[in-house]
Chains A and B, each alone.
Chain A
Amino acid sequence: MAETLGKSQGSDTIFPQSLIPQSPMPSYLFWLFSTIMLIGAVAVIAFRNPVSSALAMVTSFVGLAALFIGLSAFFVGVIQILVYSGAIMVLFLFIIMLLDLKDEKRRTESYLPLVAGLSLVGIFFVQLVGVLSNKLPNQIAPVLDKAALAAAAGDFKEGTKIHLALKDGHLPDVHLIGHTLFTEYNLPLQILGVLLLVATVGVVVLSKRQTN
């Protein structure tokens, strides 16, 4: 990976060479970030204090965003950090501090939820092993090298940013997502706008103090 990053391309590139890694994530990084993500997730459940849980969730989502970036989904990784670790987490902390919650008391009676939870996890694990023991196609991520990307450039109009970047051997992730979003997924996008409006109005109505 290092040698492909180091090569200088030409003066007509629109993306800096060093920003766009195209080869799949190395194994040790994958396991490092997966471990961070899973430990964060376990910590969300294990901590008694809700504020600690919220911070553990940030850790988990940062690991997840790193996995997204390793999968060449740069836009989704950035959105994960911005929306989850930024906005949603602040909202959670805000509500936790607003309600001034006490630490949850240790459970004394009733082991039924524990048994139910563990058996659910067991069922999922058995299913997971069943799925993973089957052979799936494309076990190794196809390499998005310069030749493959340059071949894909033909599908886009000459002179557009996507076309130029693909011809240079870069993956213009954000441009491609924008292109797909505003062509194939235009109607769902409009519906999403209406949904967000409804959610905004709903939140205002819900949090208004009842006067009667």
Chain B
Amino acid sequence: MTEVQDLFRRNRAEEFSRDVFADFVVPPFFGRLPIRTQTKALVIEGGRGCGKTTLLNYFCHPTMFSPKQPEASIREVSYVGLYYRADTNFLAGLQGDEHPDKVYLNAFKHSLSYNIAMELAESLESINCTDERRDKFGRLESLDFSELEEMFGISFGRTLADFKKSLERLKTRLAMWLNNPKPGNTPDFLTPEIFLTQVIRLLQVQLPYLADVRFAVFIDEYENLLEYQQQYINGLLKHGRGALLFNIAMKHNGFLTRRTLTNESLQQIHDFILIDLEHEQEKGFELFAAEVMLFKLVEGIAALGAHVPIDPALLRRTDDESLRIRCEDAQYRKQVLNCAERLLPKMTEREVAVQVLANKKLRTRLAENIADGLKKFSTSLTVEDFIRDDMPEASVVSGCLLNRRRETPEAILEEMEKLKLGELTKFGRKSSDWTQNNLFGALLQIYAVARVPCPLYAGFDSFVLISKGNLRHFLELTRRAFETIDRKTIKDLPQVDVEAQAEVVRQAAYAFLNEVRGAGTAGNQLYGMVLTLGAIFRQKQRAVEQSEPEINHFSVSRGAEFSEALARFLAEAIKWSVLFDEPETKEKNPGVPTRDYILNPIFAGHFQISFRKRRAIPLTEQELMIMFAGKLEDKDRMVRTKVGALNANLSLELDLGP
């Protein structure tokens, strides 16, 4: 029996099966995806963990023709998805000075041919995987592949099993030839456009139910292909038609080239439709994340179904009406989000402020902040005047206001008195709302310096913001959170303790931070950049005056184009979702085009900084290059300069880098 702690651990079937039907929550944007109706190539783009491969699996034959699909839903065979994940380690070896370039190109085409043909063969087995469908479609035993030998000079046998064995043999022969090329052992190379088209034609003649079928190939990990390999695939995207269409899936900035081998250019809209999964997902992510969480809960422990306002069957349905209910029914949305918030409860900023006053360690930290501020004035007022249990938010905020020295202690205290009397005050007036502008940052500062996990990281809303449209990040936070639940405390719905959630966010941030080093060829440089940038944000967040609270992104002037090296680093950072780029929200320097780069909020817990997009610091190209590729001492100096503590005895988390 599944325990609540195990609900979000992926089981083997879920992790390794290509049939994702039972575990797939149809995303709300599904209706907008032109996949099954495609008339031109699709370029599906998204970062690591956005659900790209799962979505592709959903459209490919093991899921589309899953034995778990209701039989009534499979009336005909009109669209068959074929998945091909490039083995980039192997394919990257198809270059060098051992053979002419043309031979490597032919070997690449050959590899594509037999791998996709194998998918095609397996799709026939998926289509006919139940008795009912064998009656309806079937005839696999009468297939005869022998005519292919005449066309290609390679024997593929007669039966489907022979055909598959022959394809395996082609794979082995190619590897043997590549590893030990000898005169006379060069394979007879196949070309996908010709070979696959002939195989499809043969199938259509012999299996009438495939007469109107379109086979759509999804080539995953396109970004890791060599340039000539991308050029060849680009040609397939541009000229795919009839019963065989080609699509690609890749991370952001995955195109090394838009050219084809015949030097044509691949044009968006004209030649392909771009689907940016993260962009699509971010719009409705809050509801989708809640649905996925509740879906897993109910699927894992059926008894919880009575307490959860979702119907797993509805979430598996792709029809317009089901999607409409989920996306447009306000009542449904409210119930689902409320339920998610019950599982992952949060504390309001006021409640957190109350906790600061109630907790000895935190209260002492606040008192020290206030005392530091008072030292800057000649005043008879004391710390006790500003720590008021009946005004927790104002008490916390007063700590940073006093350190800013813009208002005298007397003026601040006067505002607190007005607040107590319920009068209009700077603590609550919209135009200069001290509480709204400062409380979140001031709370983070107190908890960070006191080294206590801050409850502001807890709550379903926070998890959604921290995940920023990345389902893998959301589920990892949720998995870690649910693992902390004490089973004895569960009554109807499990609930994760707020402090445990906050600690989980910190731990997950650290785990994801460590993954950055494995992010492609520039992994170490990206890691060094995150640590340096995080060190700046962290020190700014720990500044007691909080004059610019919640800094967690940077803007960079685009007066001139970036140097090639910096452009490459930034492209890699975006490709691996370490940074997100957005046009600048507030134009600080009219006329100077700038872009904002946001540090992935999944790292916020590690640096104890805000995960809400609030304030940016400007950085120059030179500073960015130091962050990516500078020496430790240069990074250290830059961080100290940026945080205004050149000579302070700070201990900064930095990486030496290469």
- A and B pair up: no
